[in-house]
Amino acid sequence: MSAPASNSFDLIRTLTELPGPVGLETAVQDYIAQHWSGFAEEIRRTRVDNVLARVGGSGERLIFVAHADELCWIVRSISDDGFLHIGPFYHDTVGRPTKNTIPLNQPALVLTSNAPVEGIFATASGHVVSPTQRAEPKWEWTEWFIELGVSSKAAVEALGIHPGCKVIWNPKTRRIGEHLITGKAMDDRVALAIATLAGERLAGRADLRFDVWLASTIQEENGLVGANSIVDALDVDRAIALDVGLTGDVPGVDDRMFPGKIGGGPIVVYNDFSVHYNWEFTEELVTTARINEIPVQQAAFANYGSDGAQLTRRGVKTALVTYPTRYTHSPVETVDLRDVEACVDLLVAYATRP
C-alpha cells in the first residue's frame, strides 16, 4: 500500500499545532494512526497508546521511534477571581520556575474533558511591579498564572477546568526566512514528520533491507515512559530514535560544548547523559550518509536524553538521529527544512539496499 507523499511544511505545521501534552497525547496519536494507515500494512495501538505501524519488508526488524508528547503545565488550583495557578508536569527538584523553560506572555490552551479553553500565560508586569520584585532574580510558581478572561472560580469550573488539567503554550507554526520553521512542539513532532515521510517513501518498495516499522510513543518528556513498553508489544532488533538535536550556533551558547549547527544536516549522536548508543550502528549511519552525499554531523550531547535510552535498556540495538533545533523547550523551537529532508534521506538510504 502506498499514499501520496506529504508536503514537509504542511505536515510539520499540522503535527506541531495539535495539542499533545504529556499524558494526554490522544489528538496526536489519533492523527498519526489515521495518517500512517494510508501507507502502512498494519497499525497497532498498544494498551498505553503507543502507535506502531508496519511499513513492509522482511528480515531483521528496524523501527523508527519518535514521541508524541510535548511540554505542559498542570493546573494546581483556581483562584476565587478566576485565575489558574500552575505547576510543572515534571518532578520539581528546584521548587521554582527555571530559566530553561519560560512560557510567559504566550497564548495558552487548557485541555479539559470538554472543549479546550484558550488563555494566556501571565505574571504581574510593567508599572505594577514593585522595586523589590524588580530586583528579585528568581520567579516563584505562585507568580505565574493563566488568564482566561473570566472573573470567578465558578465560571472557570463551568468550562470543565479543574486541578489536574494540562496547559500548553499555543502559538501558530510559521515559516521565517527561506528555510526555517518556528513554533511549539518541534520536539518531537518534527521527528514524527520525518518518520512519516520516510515511511511513505519506503512503503511498497522491493529493496528494503529490513522489516521496517514506525513508532509514536507517549510520555517521553516524563521519563521515556512509552518507549519502555515497545518491546512488550513488538519484538524489535534495532531502533533509530528520532529527536531534536542540540546546536550552539546562537549567541550565548558555548559552541565548544554544542558544535551542531542548523542547516548542517542530521546530527548522529554517540552518547548523551543517560546512555551510550550502539557504536557500530551509529557508525553505519554516518557511513551511509557519506556514501549517499547526505550532510551529516556527529555529536555527544550533555543535558539530554531520548527514547533510545529506554530501548537500549530493553535490549534493542539503538542509534540516535537528530535534526538540529534552536531554542529547544520553548514556544519558538526552530528547525531547517533542509535538515528535515536530509534526515528522511538518511533513513531511506539506510533502510534500502544500495
Q: Is 346:282 a contact under the CB 8 Å cutoff?
A: no
Rounded to an integer, what distance in angstroms lies between the CA atom of residue 97 and that of residue 147? 18
Phi, psi angle pair for 191, to nearest 5°: -65, -40
Cell 514524527 found at: 192
Cell numbers linked to 182: 518556528
Rounded to an integer, what distance in angstroms lies between the CA atom of residue 326 and that of residue 333? 6
Task: Output DSSP code: residue 94.
Answer: S
Domain boundaries defined on the chain: 8-70+184-351, 73-169
Cell numbers linked to 107: 497564548
What CATH number was assigned to the domain covering residues 73-169? 2.40.30.40
Q: Model pTM?
A: 0.95
Statement: 8-70+184-351 belongs to CATH 3.40.630.10: yes
Position 3 scores a pLDDT of 57
Task: Output DSSP code: residue 126.
Answer: G
* Residues of the chain with confidence (pLDDT) below 70: 1-5
Residues 233-250 pLDDT 10s: 999 999 999 999 999 999
- Give the DSSP H or E segment for 288: helix 279-291
Residues 6-43 pLDDT 10s: 799 999 999 999 999 999 999 999 999 999 999 999 99
Q: Is 240:311 a contact under the CB 8 Å cutoff?
A: no
Q: Is 56:203 a contact under the CB 8 Å cutoff?
A: yes
Rounded to an integer, what distance in angstroms lies between the CA atom of residue 42 and that of residue 52? 8
Cell numbers linked to 136: 528579585
Phi, psi angle pair for 210, to nearest 5°: -135, 170
